A = this chain, B = another copy of it.
Amino acid sequence: MPGERKMIYLDNGATTKVDERVLDEMIPYFTEHYGNPSSIYSFSKKPRQAIEKARKIISGKLNANPDEIILTSGGSETDNLALRGAAIYAKNNGKTHIITTVIEHHAILNTCRALEKEGFSVTYLKVDNEGFINLDELEKAIRDDTFLVSIMHANNEIGTIQDISAIGKLCRGKRVYFHTDAVQSFTKVPIDVVEMNIDMLSIASHKIHGPKGVGALYLRKGVRIANLITGGSQENNRRAGTENVPGIAGFGKAVELAKPEHIEKMIKLRDYMIKQIEDSIPDAKLNGPRQKRLCNNINIGFRYIEGEGILMSLDMEGICVSTGSACSSKSLDPSHVLMSLGLKHEEVHGSIRFTISRFTEKEEIDFTVEKLKGIIEHLRKLSPLTPR
């Protein structure tokens, strides 16, 4: 890659580039069809149609009905709506117990902690050394006062894909609601909410080349939760606020553009990158599973050195990666996900997450691995921890 080098973006697990076709879909709703979709004059027809079109595409991708989709401002709001909404509703019925896992996204974990302060009790299931929960442990954890099991579909840091079909079946049998945070897996792992017995599911637009600031909750018909944002009657009285029409139209387009062949492409690139790193860099260990792993996730622990150092060195080469989770990357706390796999502090601190997208090219991976080799070698030379 001679001359002015292109930036290489390997942080698609945090946020993605908006597809040009998504942006084209959004533009008319800013300056042309800007009417209030909830009004009754005919100028509101196009924005209203845009919302319903997106809702149909999104629900179709999940095998849900359009009226089971509540459009929101993103993944975090959606997770909060699911958990807090279910909690408020359950409390009135005397149920106060939630089951989740230790490797959830902070939108789930911190919401559970907030609910604990409000009188709820939470069981945090442990995971094995690849990040999988144990179904028997889940079953044993379900109590008479359990109203909700919230277990993420695919982990954002290590890519572990849980068997949500089995979890759904178990929960349905026990008459406990099952929510899954599918923000990372949506369009990257097939989801059928009916077949998988899912009651609530969170998704977000900015992980799939749609705009930031848009998300959705699948809420199975008949599942009753309280609202998080009350006010006007938008979203069938389930989420108040003037609809973000361009954002919603863009989200729909992004879902429409996501194809199964992208998954195939990403799996090949993922496995290629893992092999290249393992073959060329000593003491590099894959975190998370090799099978049942998100198609775009690569997380590698490099012994004897710090992830921050690797990240900064790659940044100087124009390569964007992340350590730990995207949302707390400013924090120096070790990743709660990696810690829960039983890794040592130093293994956690030396870990880097590379997340690819359907736009990632093999040349970018080759370039990254080549630079990585030199950077790891250099940093290890400087590190007092390196065995000599």
Binding site for B on A (CB under 8 A): 7, 9, 11, 14-18, 20, 22-23, 26-27, 30-31, 34-36, 38-44, 72-77, 79-80, 88, 105-108, 110-111, 113-114, 118, 204, 206, 211-214, 226-234, 240-247, 308, 311-312, 314-315, 320-322, 325-331
CB distance from A203 to the nearest CB of B (A): 13
Q: A30-B211, A72-B73 are in contact. List 5 more A-B contacts (CB 8 A).
A: A36-B329, A43-B320, A74-B242, A76-B229, A76-B231
Copies of this subunit = 2
Cβ contact within 8 Å between A35 and B231: no
**In the complex, A138 Cα to B321 Cα: how many Å?**
55
Contact B14 A212 (CB under 8 A): no
Do A229 and B320 have beta carbons less than 8 Å apart? no
Q: Is the pair A107, B230 in contact by a Cβ cutoff of 8 Å? A: yes
Q: How far is the CB of A257 from chain B (nearest CB, A)?
A: 14
List, in ascending order, chain B residues with CB within 8 A of A320's CB: 35, 39, 41, 43-44
Can you list 9 contacts pairing A with B, beta carbon distance less than 8 Å? A17-B31, A35-B320, A39-B320, A40-B311, A76-B230, A80-B231, A212-B243, A232-B326, A232-B328
**Is the pair A73, B80 in contact by a Cβ cutoff of 8 Å?**
no
Expressed in whole angstroms, the minimum distance between the Cβ of A326 and any Cβ of chain B is 5
Neighbouring B residues of A31 by C-beta, 8 Å: 17-18, 20, 23
Contacting residues, chain B, for A241 (C-beta < 8 A) = 73-77, 107
A30 touches B36 (CB 8 A): no
A229 and B39 contacting across the interface, CB-CB below 8 Å: no
